[in-house]
Structure 1
Amino acid sequence: MAAVTADTLVLPRVADAGLGDTERPVLGISTGPQGFEGEGFPVRRTMAGIDYQHLDPFIMMDHMGEVDYAAGEPKGTNWHPHRGFETVTYLIDGEFIHQDTHGGGGVIHEGSTQWMTAGAGLLHIETPPERLVEQGGLFNGFQLWVNLPAAKKFTTPAYQPVDAKDLLLLASADGGALLRVIAGEVDGHVGPGSTHSPITMLHASIAPGARLSLPWQPSYNALAYVFAGAGTVGAKGEPIRAGQLAVFGAGDRITVAAEARQDSRTSSLEVLLLGGEPIGEPMVQYGPFVMNTRAELVQTLEDYQQGRLGVIPPDAIMPHVYRGSRDPRR
């Protein structure tokens, strides 16, 4: 994995389990279906089929890749609208270019995160840069949708880049796991991401045979998505592998462990750990719009059709059109 690495021996360590801690049970493990998004890039719908009560405030998360593109194959999304939530794009490998109608934009590099608050509404594009389209290469990342409460649905759109060098790096109690904290608090350590809905998001790399026991905010839900390797979750050691998501029940600590032997594609168990304070409000979604009522969705569609969510700027980035040849004989 090309995302940020560090020596766990010199990093601050999170506290190990103690008397009085309550281990969160595993409520279920699901395997997300695979499909295509945007202009046709492959994704895994990691949260598909899970009741929203276990996800709130998260709406969905797509695992984009892992895919090793040939020249001409990389794809992204064209200009499209959003309203009522935030998108969080975290890249492990590859690059994406972002631009929106509220002035946000930039290049998302390996190990970096883009936090876009759609709020009242905007148009944006996410597309691979020219170099990646022309040459191909490895691409692997995530896009998470985080709901906004009714009081913040129409907040002013904003864009927040979190560079790889700004991630908070921690180690597990025994040094067997590297934790990259993107947002939220872990054992008193606060990540760089600023969020409207209180959440914790981190990427853990757990060495073969190592065990990660992590304190977790009791009022938050808790999810663990494995995107490389194999291991177990929970105190009972329930098996989990790449492409699967575990949903935890109530408690104040979660446990994830790596199998002693991993496959040849990874040197560790790679896991995204997510949790958030449930908003506890009705949620209705229609494509890229997430509101509280059907009437608000109807109004949002009208606003989009009337151009009230933004207009593509004259200097707009557009998907790069491949100039080379896919024919190896040329």
Structure 2
Amino acid sequence: MPSFPKLHNAAWPGLVGKEPDTDNPPIDLETMLDHTAKAEVDGQKFDGIDLFLFDPHVSIDADRDALEKLAEMVGYRNLVVGSVVAPVWEPTGGGSAMDPGEGRTKFLTQIRKACHIAKELREIGIRRYGVVRIDSATPPADWADHPEAGTQAIAETFREAAKIAEDHGERLAVEGEICWAGMHSWREVLKLLEAVDRPGVVGFQADMAHTLLYLMGYNAPEDALLPRDFDWSDTATLDAAYAEMTDALRPWTIDFHVAQNDATVHGTGSHDKTGRHCLPDDPNGKLDIAKRAGAWLDGADDRGIKHICWDGCMFPNDVMAKEETWNSILKAMISVRDAHGWG
């Protein structure tokens, strides 16, 4: 049985797309930890959890005492912490990475705070691997008016962020999601990473649900590798398109999310429409999860990947309350490790 990659759940589906006083209010961190710790398939369990550094889960301004209490809460359930998400967006105290003025200053402030927390969790001993996840905190529509200048501005912000991360012994993973400028297509994120030119510090975070929409050209029709009305039974064409995308982005991939998608977009609450996350066995899911994960995980150990994480944002709360939901997710994660893991 492979011992790597370690299998993690994500805490942020308890917050992303959730709104107070609705049918799907935020789910507290302890509940997300309990769902993660209780899941079990043939004696195998989740190894850890990835965190969103955002209230009410983990304050971006958390002090050492708060982080030690967090570590106790996680460790008590025989889990560890992996990657953490920096809240770089304007409503959470951050700002646009494309804005060379105040936006950049606020963005970098959040990066500094997130890297500090990540380092503190390492020192406490609850975090042994993982990255700090970021995005551009800018809608693609703002970028589209001046694409070349926009990409260069984001790249300059990311280079400054890389210096901060390096000072803290951290790496930054740029999230590939169609709702973020400069990351809304596979070709554009490749251009951005090459412009940043910090391959040892700034890399790519591939999510299987989001990157599937790269193939369809959502928010970037010129970069589509498959037509919008694609016949998903045509596996040969899908294989070729998937290989073209992953061959380009895999060398940059330092963080990986296992997910399912039905090739549609979805958004709830205040979250922009992005790839719809589905349960692993959703009959409309277009991904053979274990097979497609292999295209991203080839050489993962050499790129410093020690764990993989499930991402299932914007599931209804009643679905997330079911024990079978998390067991089915864990089963899919185990299938990925069995197929592509290492010792």
Larger % of helix: which?
A: 2
Larger % of strand: which?
A: 1
* Structure with higher RCO (Cα < 8 A, 6+ apart): 1
TM-score w.r.t. the length of structure 2 is: 0.28
